[in-house]
Amino acid sequence: MSTAPVVDLTGESQGELELPETVFSVVPHATVMHQALLRQLANARQGTHDSKTRTEVSGGGRKPYRQKGTGRARQGSIRAPHYRGGGAVFGPTPRDHSLAMPRKQRRLALRSALSVKAAESQITVLDRIELEEPKTKVVTGFLQALEAGRRVLVVLGSHHDALELSARNLPEVRVILAGNISVRDLLTADTVVMTRDAVEHIAEAWG
């Protein structure tokens, strides 16, 4: 059974919370996690990279000089690949980089990542959010009290405008909803801070 410390917004301890075993105590599957991470990185690529071939570059419609009698190698166009300003031979073209992955494997990868974080004691539960207006100073003090590290992932069960606006100015703090949590977000975070309703949502969705 994995447990996580429960704190308030000042960093004071409020006890511990038992994390659901079906999500936070599974045997991590490194291969599936790696595959899920590669899929997420590939799906984030736009695939709009492009280069022009010799049929697309401007100019070069006329043969630069006659075929014979000049003493030079025969040429058909000044836009051939070996000329400066010529077309690319095997350059990039627009394509779809997205990868598919079975739903069961995606769920296993997410449970594995959550279990790794729980086993390494990198999950902290936020008891309640007592913040009525945006104050970045409050969030900064909270993270310093936790000694959260450089990259922090804050997972909310539902939107909280004051907290989200408070953390927006902190470049290494990412605030997401529990339904949008991903393997990449978990693996790149030094500390994962979850609200109680976020833990319940994750357990219900992926348990």
User: For residue range 9-66, what is the model confidence (pLDDT) as tens digits?
Assistant: 888 888 889 999 899 999 999 999 999 999 999 999 999 999 999 999 998 889 999 9
Q: Do residues 179 and 201 lie in contact, with contact meaning Cβ atoms separated by under 8 Å?
A: yes
Q: Is-contact 173 167, C-beta < 8 A?
A: yes
Radius of gyration of the CA atoms of the chain, in A: 27
Check: CB of residue 77 under 8 Å from CB of residue 53: no
**Residue pair 22/203 in contact by the 8 Å Cβ criterion:** yes
Give mean pLDDT, residues 110-135: 90
pLDDT surpassing 90 at residue 8: no
CB atoms near residue 64 (< 10 Å): 15
pLDDT score of 96: 94
| pLDDT for position 191 | 92
Query: Which residue reads 């599936």 in tokens?
Result: 32
> Model confidence over 167-192: pLDDT tens digits?
888 989 999 999 999 999 999 999 99
pLDDT at 42: 95
- Whether residue 133 is predicted with pLDDT greater than 90 in this model: the reply is no
pLDDT of residue 9: 85
CA distance 163 to 140: 11
For the chain, what's the residue count? 207
* Contact in structure between 196 and 157 (CB atoms under 8 Å): yes
The whole-number pLDDT of residue 130 equals: 80
Buried b / exposed e over 107-127, threshold 16 CB at 10 Å, is: bbbbbbbbbbbbeeebbbbbb
What pLDDT is stored for residue 148 in this prediction?
83
Q: What is the mean pLDDT of the chain?
A: 91
The Cβ of residue 70 has, within 10 Å, a number of other Cβ atoms equal to 11
